């Protein structure tokens, strides 16, 4: 198979990110649910992870040597379900039943009966400890798999996140990659207003992580960062991805409201136009 050219790779990643955003839009509109802004801030990160980085096989979602992806910010699961459906882990038709009575796809990442969802999350601060356990088991078993976890900035308020942040470098978990979707907005305000995390990168460095800060919407930059891991042998990787809540739809960008609001019909039409829906 020929290696796709750089521009073809760009197109692939962008196309997948667009599909994630379109699915999430329809899902959240239909369900009248929330967290679209949180799904959009990590849509490009997920597109690169699933399209280019993760060593996973939708036909064998439980294979022992698979890379693990733990979505710690489980409330943004619409984007995760969307990418899993696009990658063939389960039928895209399931997305139409997000939030529905009797359906499988709950409003926070749910592993039960959903191939590809590694663990159920929803309460914040659980993902990094779980990922540490998987990474440590991988190291001790001599397995080559990597463990990726996506955290929100808000859940860096949780003590359990910092317990794990202390643990991973001590145990030299260089097969662990924490990606932080640093969109700067949490539940009741900006991160700066609620509980400032700065100097954020310095905190992770001080804990012993190898840290890269990237533009979380620049797919080429994301891919470069996630291809270079570990940044330093013996150190866990922390990628602080600077993102925009609601990225992709102008009137949702950087708006706290879109942590909660489900788009109405008018907003749907405008969002679809901006996202370039051609279907």
Partner 1 sequence: MRGAFFDALLTLAERDHRINLIVGDLGFGVVEEFARRFPERFLNAGIAEQNMTGIAAGMALSGRVVFTYSIANFPILRCLEQVRNDVCYHNANVKIVAVGGGLAYGSLGSTHHATEDLAIMRSLPRMTVVAPADPAEAGAATRAVAARPGPCYLRLGRAGEAQVHSGPIDFQLGKAIQVSQGSDLSLISTGGMLETAVQVAESLHHAGLQTRVLSMHTVKPLDADAILAAARETGAVFTLEEHSVDGGLGGAVAELLAEAGAGPHTFRRFGLPSTFSPVVGTQEYLRAQHGLTAKAVASAIASILEKERTFAATCTG
The residue ranges that bind partner 1 (CB under 8 A) are 64, 111, 119-123, 125-126, 128-138, 140-141, 159-160, 163-164, 166-167
| Nearest distance, CB of residue 176 and partner 1, angstroms | 10
Q: Which is nearer to partner 1, 96 or 157 (CB)?
A: 157
| Dist CA 46 CA 177 (whole Å) | 14
The secondary structure element, H or E, covering residue 179 is: strand 176-182
Sign of the four-CA dihedral 45, 46, 47, 53: positive
| Nearest distance, CB of residue 264 and partner 1, angstroms | 33
| Nearest distance, CB of residue 144 and partner 1, angstroms | 13
- Per the structure block, which two tokens stand in for 243? 């993102």
Q: β-strands 185-186, 189-190: how paired?
A: antiparallel
Q: Which is nearer to partner 1, 136 or 150 (CB)?
A: 136
| Nearest distance, CB of residue 236 and partner 1, angstroms | 14
| Dist CA 153 CA 133 (whole Å) | 21
| Nearest distance, CB of residue 38 and partner 1, angstroms | 19
Q: Which is nearer to partner 1, 62 or 266 (CB)?
A: 62
Q: Which is nearer to partner 1, 129 or 246 (CB)?
A: 129
In the chain, the N- to C-terminal Cα span, in Å, equals: 29
CA gyration radius, the chain: 18
| Nearest distance, CB of residue 11 and partner 1, angstroms | 36
Q: Which is nearer to partner 1, 113 or 133 (CB)?
A: 133
Place of tokens 């879109």: 258
| Nearest distance, CB of residue 160 and partner 1, angstroms | 4
| Dist CA 202 CA 276 (whole Å) | 39
- Count the helix, strand and coil residues of the chain and give each as a percent rounded to the nearest 5: 45, 10, 40
Alpha helices in the chain (DSSP H): 6-31, 36-41, 43-48, 77-86, 127-140, 159-170, 191-195, 200-207, 219-227, 265-275
Q: Which residues contact 93 (CB under 8 A, 6 or more apart)?
A: none
Q: β-strands 189-190, 210-215: how paired?
A: unpaired
Q: Which is nearer to partner 1, 125 or 248 (CB)?
A: 125
Q: Which is nearer to partner 1, 28 or 165 (CB)?
A: 165
| Nearest distance, CB of residue 120 and partner 1, angstroms | 6
Q: Which is nearer to partner 1, 166 or 273 (CB)?
A: 166
């Amino acid at each position: 198979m020929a290696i796709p050219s750089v521009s073809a790779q760009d197109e692939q990643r962008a196309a997948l990110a667009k599909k994630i955003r379109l699915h999430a839009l329809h899902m959240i509109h239909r369900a009248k649910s929330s967290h679209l802004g949180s799904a959009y801030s990590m849509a490009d990160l997920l597109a690169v992870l699933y399209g280019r980085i993760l060593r996973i096989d939708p036909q064998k979602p439980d294979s022992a040597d698979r890379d693990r992806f733990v979505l710690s910010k489980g409330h943004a699961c619409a984007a995760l379900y969307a990418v899993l459906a696009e990658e063939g882990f389960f039928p895209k038709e399931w997305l139409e039943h997000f939030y529905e009575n009797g359906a499988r796809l709950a409003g926070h990442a749910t592993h039960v009966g959903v191939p590809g969802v590694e663990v159920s999350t929803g309460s914040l601060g659980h993902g990094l400890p779980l990922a540490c356990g998987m990474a440590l088991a991988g190291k001790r078993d001599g397995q080559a798999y990597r463990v990726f976890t996506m955290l929100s900035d808000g859940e860096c308020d949780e003590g359990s996140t910092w317990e794990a942040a202390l643990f991973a470098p001590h145990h030299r978990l260089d097969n662990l990659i924490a990606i932080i979707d640093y969109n700067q907005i949490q539940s009741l305000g900006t991160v700066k207003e609620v509980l400032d995390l700065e100097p954020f990168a310095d905190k992770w460095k001080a804990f012993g992580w190898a840290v890269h800060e990237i533009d979380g919407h620049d797919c080429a930059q994301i891919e470069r960062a996630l291809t270079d891991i570990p940044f330093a042998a013996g150190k866990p990787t922390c990628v602080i991805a600077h993102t925009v809540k609601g990225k992709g739809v102008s009137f949702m960008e950087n708006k706290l409201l879109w942590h909660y609001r489900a788009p109405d019909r008018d907003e749907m039409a405008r969002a679809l136009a901006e996202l370039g829906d051609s279907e």
